[in-house]
Amino acid sequence: MEMVVGCYRLTTEFPKEELFGLVAQIRRSAVSVPSKLAEGHGRGIDVDFVRFLHISYGSLSELETQLILAKRLAMTDEKSIEPLLIECDRLARMLSGLIRARSKASNRLTGSSANDQRPTTNDQRPPEGA
């Protein structure tokens, strides 16, 4: 939730013409991460929870990309964005671990394989030229 608050605070400083562009996208992606976790957990079924963990992970990846783009477009600076990028990386690792653990638990119950259900962690950000 702190990441969401940080994203909202960061985007208040963006140009007003970006209100319905990158500002909206960053805020929507940030809010989606904990929202999908809550929705998946609320369903009470591991298979559904794992699916929503994957969706949350995807939203987090979108957010990271959008933050890097905002920096490259000079809407913010490295000092302002770095804590959020570090938090994205930390959350990606946590989600990846949770996906692995829940997939294994779910697969023990259903007897299926979890090999293709694990996202890779964000050990590195996309190259600057990407």
Tally of CB atoms within 10 A around 20: 9
Q: What is the reported pLDDT for 65?
A: 97
Q: What is the reported pLDDT for 111?
A: 63
pLDDT range class, residue 38, cuts 50, 70, 90: very high
Torsion of CA 48, 123, 32, 72, to 10 degrees: -160
Q: What is the reported pLDDT for 125?
A: 53
pLDDT range class, residue 110, cuts 50, 70, 90: low
CATH architecture of the domain covering 2-117: Up-down Bundle (1.20)
Structure tokens at 72: 């490259």
For the chain, the residue count is: 130
Closest of 52, 59, 67 to residue 102, by C-alpha: 52
pLDDT tens, residue by residue, 63-86: 999 999 999 999 999 999 999 999
* Domain locations in the chain as residue ranges: 2-117
